[in-house]
Structure 1
């Protein structure tokens, strides 16, 4: 096998540009899907059975549909309804819709991990439901939800590769274009894999930092 990793010096700008697009798409989806996930989790835990059942049903459907199908619907299907989106916007919408329901399940589990007595104690102290949620419940739910949240964040990072199917110039798409020019698949795709692993490692570092912060916060509350 004739390997030539020196070629990476010439194609690095193209791979770096693809990695930047991957990070941009990952960050945009995280920023959008997280608050939607929180809202869905709160609705699912509401005292209205019809609302909770509706959210659970839609969540079951969305999490059961392949994300590539949702992407194709946003890019190819929405124009038939008069809504035409650019490739990046289509990928953003599809991944946000898909991940919001996964995040909702994670946040719902985190909220469920907080003992019901916390709500009762806050009510006895005269705290409003919103204040109780923000000051008491959510800070205790974060440590339980954080590992699953970061785990799915890495899935967003890797899932951006699907957007190459609608011509978003992310890392996988960039690697494929470079390969078509250089005919060096081993070197190019190994380099792309290393970049993905590096970015994934950054997210894991953020998880560790977040867990330590949550532990310190919990210890201060306990003290």
Structure 2
């Protein structure tokens, strides 16, 4: 037991590395605050195009995009963007590469969630909104999309939790997010306690969202029954 505590729950190491891990946490929070809204906006755009267009070709292209980027590992995508694009003469900052990679990946997942929400809104809602004098865009903005978002809010929150955890992939382009800082500290101290502390910080960060998600899912189950 002493060896376990010394190697994984070393309080002296915790105290030593905590300031550095908190800096990494700020980077993680900043990345999440960037890529989650981008993914939500991109996913909503994908869902609206998929559900509102009358072009079969456009729907096929959207389906291909969604399938490809849901199947492609985000780590591979990020490596290709950051390390591959320079061979095409396109150099981009680390943060821009991460934002683009997450946008392409997250928009495919958020898009499917939003699409399910939009399809769950009765067609009569659009017709009723249009009958009051609203344009199609206004009806979507003020009537359909809010209802669709409410329908799939637990799924949106659940996916956002996964996105926060996926920000650890930014370490592949040397962005100093929380897990990378912890791994660097581990390699310097030859002790895995920084990794355990990083996990505890992730737990403290995401636990409120997990509880909120559980409450929303329970509420939806009660409403359906």
TM bucket (normalised to shorter chain) is: 0.7 to 0.9
Shift of 1:119: 1.7
Q: Distance in 2 between matches of 1:125 and 1:93?
A: 40
Relative to structure 1, the CA distance from residue 208 to residue 134 in structure 2 (aligned partners, 3 Å threshold; closer, same or farther) is farther
Shift of 1:81: 1.3
Match of 2:114 in 1: 107
Match of 2:181 in 1: 174
- Equivalence map 1:187-206=2 (5 Å): 187-204=193-210
- Equivalence map 1:41-52=2 (5 Å): 41-45=47-51, 46-52=53-59
Alignment of 1:76 onto 2:80: no
Alignment of 1:53 onto 2:80: no
What's the TM-score, normalizing by structure 2? 0.87
Match of 1:123 among 112, 117, 130: 130
Match of 1:36 in 2: 42
Shift of 1:207: 5.2
Match of 1:219 in 2: none
Deviations 1:45-82 (A, max 9, x none): 12222211111111111111010110011111111111
Aligned residue pairs, count: 212
Match of 1:85 in 2: 92
Relative to structure 1, the CA distance from residue 6 to residue 145 in structure 2 (aligned partners, 3 Å threshold; closer, same or farther) is same
Match of 1:132 in 2: 139
Q: Distance in 2 between matches of 1:143 and 1:71?
A: 31
SS at structure 2 position matched to 1:155: helix
Shift of 1:26: 1.0
Shift of 1:202: 3.9
Q: Distance in 2 between matches of 1:24 and 1:74?
A: 20
SS at structure 2 position matched to 1:80: helix
Match of 1:16 among 7, 22, 26: 22
Q: Distance in 2 between matches of 1:128 and 1:93?
A: 33
Q: RMSD value over aligned CA atoms? A: 2.1
Q: Distance in 2 between matches of 1:74 and 1:202?
A: 33
Which structure 2 segments of 5+ residues have no match?
Answer: 221-225
Which structure 1 segments of 5+ residues have no match?
Answer: 216-223
What's the TM-score, normalizing by structure 1? 0.88
Shift of 1:124: 3.2
